């Protein structure tokens, strides 16, 4: 082969290598973080949506006729989830009634703006929207709480209150399941956090794709194996309308340290995220380990492994002017020193009929 022929063959090979790895027809626009394949935009849409569809089908997340609430914050994860789930529901005839469920924590300059995005999504996707606020449920906004406690433990209050608020909102909508936009990065972070905290109970369930099956409303995570970077790229290429500002009260959140560690690992070995999730799935707890027993909060009727749920403990501390009362171990409720409690005259009712803080102490 002459030198000219060699150069021509080399040029053709180089040109071929710049085509999409999957279709070999179009130029690639991205390298998938999960597989490192260089693919075109059209193929990216197809594999992204198909992978989520397979997760839904293989894990039997839904049944035809179910009412499903999508936890919608206006951020990239929940916006992409709402869009993709709506598309898959139509394309594959899941037969689901979908709703958007948003929580207004009362964070001025953050949540009020993101809720405007969710309201636009309601119109764009044709999905009914339900908004539940901390102020209505608990009598406090996160702005009020931060003024009292500062920025050190505020994420503890918000996380506990938000989880219960989602369940209460889902109950108002009378849905069968609640889906959230937790992605692979989030779950890997949670595995690490639970190991660092020594939280055996949460470690045993944090990688489950469906949780809360013994509670009022099961929660599903269709994005369990979906990388955050791919969600961002999908939202960008599809030009989806989402809110991208981080919470103004979370710069010092403990989870942030785990997030940075995960990002460092991903740069070295992209599959590290899936490997951590797999490790979490493979953890086995000794049968001799005593696990918390699921019960019902005597105060509000919400699920709890203690006499009072964490939300009620935190709320009582706020109302008494002792915001740190509920931080750490639940002392003062089931701990070393006792508090006088006027017990309700009847067995705790359903979470629809009671609100946190509705009983006298």
Torsion angles phi and psi, residue 310, rounded to 5: -60, -35
Residue 343: predicted pLDDT: 36
Residue keyed to tokens 């989030």? 186
Q: How many CA atoms lie within 13 A of 236 on its CB side?
A: 11
Q: What is the largest CA-CA distance in the chain?
A: 97
Name the stretches of the chain with pLDDT < 50.
Answer: 7-15, 330-361
Distance CA 95, CA 75 (A): 26
**Tens of pLDDT, residues 138-177:** 999 999 999 998 888 888 899 999 999 999 999 999 999 9
Residue 328: predicted pLDDT: 61
Residue 334: predicted pLDDT: 40
Question: The pTM is what?
Answer: 0.83
Residue 216: predicted pLDDT: 77
- The domain segmentation of the chain, as residue ranges, is 1-43, 62-334
Residue 333: predicted pLDDT: 39
Residue keyed to tokens 């493979």? 282
Residues pairing with 302 in the sheet: none
CATH of 62-334, one of 1.10.645.10, 3.30.1360.10, 3.40.50.620, 3.40.640.10: 3.40.50.620
DSSP 8-state symbol, 94: -
Residue 11: predicted pLDDT: 44
CA-CA-CA-CA torsion sign (224, 226, 231, 234): negative
Residue keyed to tokens 């109970």? 201
Neighbours of 291 (CB within 10 A): 10
Transcribe 24-56 into DSSP letters: SSS---EE-TTT--EE-HHHHHHHHHHHHHHHH
**Tens of pLDDT, residues 272-317:** 999 999 999 988 777 777 767 778 888 888 888 788 889 999 999 9
Bridge-based pairing state of the strands 219-220 and 177-179: parallel
Strands (E), the chain: 30-31, 38-39, 67-71, 97-104, 129-133, 177-179, 210-211, 219-220, 295-296, 303-304
CA proximity to 174, closest of 96, 68, 78, 82: 68
Neighbours of 108 (CB within 10 A): 11
Distance CA 133, CA 172 (A): 13
Is residue 330 within 8 A of residue 313, CB to CB? The reply is yes
Distance CA 245, CA 239 (A): 17
Is residue 145 within 8 A of residue 318, CB to CB? The reply is yes
The tokens of 221 are what? 């995570």
Residue 342: predicted pLDDT: 33
The continuous run of DSSP H or E covering 158 comes out as helix 154-173
Distance CA 211, CA 205 (A): 7
């Amino acid at each position: 082969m002459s030198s000219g022929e060699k150069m021509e063959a080399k040029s053709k090979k180089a040109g071929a290598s710049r085509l999409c790895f999957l279709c070999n027809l179009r130029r690639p626009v991205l390298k998938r973080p999960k597989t490192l394949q260089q693919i075109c935009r059209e193929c990216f849409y197809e594999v992204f949506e198909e992978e989520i569809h397979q997760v839904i089908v293989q894990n039997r997340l839904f049944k035809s006729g179910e009412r499903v609430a999508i936890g919608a914050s206006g951020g990239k994860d929940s916006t992409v989830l709402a869009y993709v789930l709506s598309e898959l529901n139509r394309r594959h005839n899941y037969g689901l009634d979908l709703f958007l469920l948003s929580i207004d924590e009362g964070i001025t300059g953050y949540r009020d703006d993101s809720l405007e995005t969710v309201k636009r999504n309601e119109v764009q996707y044709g999905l009914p929207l339900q908004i539940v606020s901390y102020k209505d449920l608990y009598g406090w906004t996160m702005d009020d709480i931060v003024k009292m406690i500062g920025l050190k433990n505020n994420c503890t209050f918000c996380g506990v209150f938000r989880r219960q608020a989602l369940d209460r909102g889902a109950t108002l909508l009378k849905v069968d399941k609640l889906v959230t936009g937790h992605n692979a990065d989030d779950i890997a972070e949670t595995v690490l956090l639970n190991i660092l905290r020594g939280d055996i109970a949460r470690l045993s369930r944090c990688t489950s794709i469906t949780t809360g099956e013994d509670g009022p409303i099961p929660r599903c995570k269709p994005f369990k194996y979906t990388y955050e970077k791919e969600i961002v790229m999908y939202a960008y290429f599809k030009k989806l309308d989402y809110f991208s500002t981080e919470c103004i009260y979370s710069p010092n959140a403990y989870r942030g340290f785990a997030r940075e560690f995960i990002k460092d690992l991903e740069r070295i070995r992209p599959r590290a995220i899936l490997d951590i999730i797999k490790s979490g799935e493979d953890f086995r707890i000794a049968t001799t380990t005593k696990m918390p027993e699921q019960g019902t909060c005597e105060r509000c009727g919400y699920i709890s492994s203690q006499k009072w749920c964490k939300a009620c403990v935190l709320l009582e501390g706020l109302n008494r002017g002792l915001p740190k009362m509920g931080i750490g171990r639940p002392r003062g409720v089931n701990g070393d020193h006792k508090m006088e409690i006027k017990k309700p005259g009847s067995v705790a009712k359903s979470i629809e009929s009671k609100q946190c803080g509705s009983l006298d102490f």
